[in-house]
Amino acid sequence: MNKKEIIGKIFVHCVLLVIVIIWIMPTFGLFISSLRVKDQLATSGWWNALRTSNINEIVRLKDKDYQFEQDGNYIIEGQILDSSLSKKIISFGVTSKNPEQYKPGEQAELKNGSFLEVSENGNYKILKDTKFEKKKGQRVFIKVQTPPRFTLENYREVLFFAGVGQSFLNSLTVAIPSTIIPLIIASFAAYALSWMQFWGRNFIFAATVCLLVVPLQMSLIPLLTMYNNMGSILGVEGKSYPGIWMAHTGFGMPLKIYLLRNFIKSLPREMIEAARVDGANHFQIFKKIILPLSIPAFASIGILQFLWVWNDLLVALVFLDKTPSEIVLTSKLREMLGSYGDNWEILTASAFVSMLIPLAVFLSLQKYFIRGLIAGSVKG
């Protein structure tokens, strides 16, 4: 290997490394954000997760009921910070115009003639030579330095209280049958279009290819109307799990048939003819020859179908109700954007939960993915 080839390989690997880093960086950032507490997530990006953060807070001190007399002066004492969180005060103020006017340990004069002193650890003392008369406690603006904090409470809130756990199961209920059903039907159709001789075979395949360009949106409402009419005749609900299974099956069928047909068509003709000479019928050929050899194609197409169904929102909104027993994960996340618009820690945890199953499916079947797609698209 000469010098130019070595430099070329190094360059290619560097480019691939950059692409991988760019690809996984959003996922990594989302995961880190989902583990952070609300205050720190709202004030700094995930790339600052390991650094201390400065947070502005407004606190109200104790009122007159907590005062006591000592050496002729009236005193109110207390603690601003939670001692278990290792926070410390950088500055404080008594007006919104100048919230960082004083440093810890300095004495601030209040309007009622009293004096306030705040220490770095959050202890404070208000001193006055006469009794405190104001019912409400003094309002104080503080800037707090907080060490990095991570928690699993966001996931507990998402899975057990925000309703995401049930919608996660609902998405599995939709995605698994909606992946298996079209894959089974498309495999038989692809074999028939590849190796069975019958009138109109080429026309059916051409019609299947034409269905690939039909926009999904234009068929949703007519299909739902048909489901509702059939449901009224049969006495069942049009919006149901079987309805969305059939909808995803119909929408995904043309692409699945096209890809599988190209793959099955590329298998050696001599092998199929030898099986026929030995007396095998079409079902035996399909079961004992086509299926074992087509595992890469089935895996890659199954990944595509599963990811499309799992991430689908439009079809789920049309064919399912928003009840807790039917709402899917994407629809639930959409609702949470309105309900939890300021709670980014809940949204990031929910988004990462929604990614777990697609990532697991893709990583478990990735060795078949490229091989199946290339074989089905190049040959045929």
Q: What is the pLDDT of residue 242?
A: 84
Per-residue H/E/C for the chain = CCHHHHHHHHHHHHHHHHHHHHHHHHHHHHHHHHCECHHHHHHCCHHHCCCCEEEEEEEECCCHHHCEEECCEEEEEEECCCHHHCCEEEEEECCCCCCCCECCCCEEECCCCCEEEECCCCEEEEEECCCCCCCCCCEEEEEEEECCCECCHHHHHHHHCCCHHHHHHHHHHHHHHHHHHHHHHHHHHHHHHHHCCCCCHHHHHHHHHHHCCCCCHHHHHHHHHHHHHHHHHHCCCCCCHHHHHHHHHHHHHHHHHHHHHHHHHCCCHHHHHHHHHCCCCHHHHHHHHHHHHCHHHHHHHHHHHHHHHHCCCHHHHHHCCCCCCCCCHHHHHHHHHHHCCCCHHHHHHHHHHHHHHHHHHHHHHHHHHHHHHHHHHHCC
Q: What is the pLDDT of residue 151?
A: 87
- Write out the two tokens for 349: 């945890």
Average pLDDT over residues 343-368: 80
8 Å CB contact between 77 and 124: yes
Residue 268 has pLDDT above 50, yes or no: yes
Q: Over the chain, what is the mean pLDDT? A: 83
- Tens digit of each residue's pLDDT (9 = 90 or more) over 189-235: 999 988 888 888 889 888 888 888 888 777 777 877 777 777 777 77
Q: What is the pLDDT of residue 153?
A: 86
Q: What is the pLDDT of residue 377?
A: 47
pLDDT bin (cut points 50, 70, 90) of residue 181 is: very high
Domain ranges of the chain: 3-48, 53-146, 155-378
324 HSE (CA, 13 A, CB side): 6
Distance in angstroms (rounded) separating the CA atoms of residues 253 and 369: 19
Q: What is the pLDDT of residue 266?
A: 84
What architecture does CATH give domain 155-378? Answer: Orthogonal Bundle (1.10)
pLDDT bin (cut points 50, 70, 90) of residue 370 is: low
- Tens digit of each residue's pLDDT (9 = 90 or more) over 43-91: 788 888 888 888 888 888 888 888 888 888 888 888 888 766 778 888 9
Residue 2 has pLDDT above 80, yes or no: no
Q: What is the pLDDT of residue 341?
A: 57
Percent of the chain having pLDDT more than 70? Answer: 92
